């Protein structure tokens, strides 16, 4: 998209529970197990020691995707309220990018292109609504002690 030329309607959601896709062939996810989003696929799987897994909460049900031939979904307790703002995509973001960090392309568009201006973490993608982005807390650089 291009930068705004007038005011826009604000579009945001607050989630404590959310359904996420689970890839077919995934190990069984047990109710109340710790789960995370695979940053390569944007899909939920059981927690494991993996650098590409972003832990998001606890499974609210048992799902056995190991025997399925199609993707299914899992209701996840996020263990805290997540507030997301819906922004336009630059065209390169899709559902597989859920869990990744995105950057501001302009005042209403987010991108995956790293440019030093972090917009937040991607929690959802919808072809109509756009990209659901959680603003990340600012972390100050460490103080230099003389």
Using one digit for the tens of pLDDT, what is the confidence trace for 71-119?
899 999 999 999 999 999 999 999 999 999 999 999 999 999 998 899 9
pTM of the model: 0.85
Helix H, strand E, coil C: the string for 102-115 is: EEECCCCEEECCCC
CA-angle at 77, arms to 57 and 134, nearest 5°: 70
Instruction: Indicate if 74 and 99 belong to the same structural domain.
Output: no
pLDDT digits (tens, 9 = 90+) for 23-51: 888 889 999 999 999 999 999 999 999 88
Instruction: Indicate if 72 and 106 belong to the same structural domain.
Output: no
Instruction: Indicate if 75 and 92 belong to the same structural domain.
Output: no
Query: What's the pLDDT score for residue 66?
Result: 85
Instruction: Indicate if 129 and 105 belong to the same structural domain.
Output: yes
User: Is 92 a domain residue?
Assistant: yes
CA atoms within 13 A on the CB side of 16: 3
Instruction: Indicate if 109 and 121 belong to the same structural domain.
Output: yes
Share of the chain above pLDDT 90, in %: 72
Distances (CA, A) of 79 to 49, 58, 60, 102, 110: 20, 7, 11, 23, 26
């Amino acid at each position: 998209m291009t930068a705004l030329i007038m005011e826009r309607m604000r579009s945001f959601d607050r989630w404590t529970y959310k359904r996420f896709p689970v890839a077919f062939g995934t190990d069984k996810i047990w109710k109340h197990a710790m789960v995370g989003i695979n940053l390569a696929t944007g899909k939920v799987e059981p927690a494991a020691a993996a650098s590409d897994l972003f832990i998001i909460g606890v499974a609210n049900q048992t799902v056995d995707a190991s025997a399925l031939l199609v993707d299914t979904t899992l209701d996840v307790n996020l263990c805290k309220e997540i507030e997301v703002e819906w922004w336009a995509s630059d065209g390169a973001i899709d559902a597989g990018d859920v869990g990744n960090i995105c950057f501001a392309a302009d005042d209403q568009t987010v991108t995956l292109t790293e440019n030093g201006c972090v917009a937040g973490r991607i929690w959802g993608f919808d072809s109509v609504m756009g990209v659901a982005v959680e603003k990340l807390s600012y972390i100050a650089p460490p103080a230099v002690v003389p």
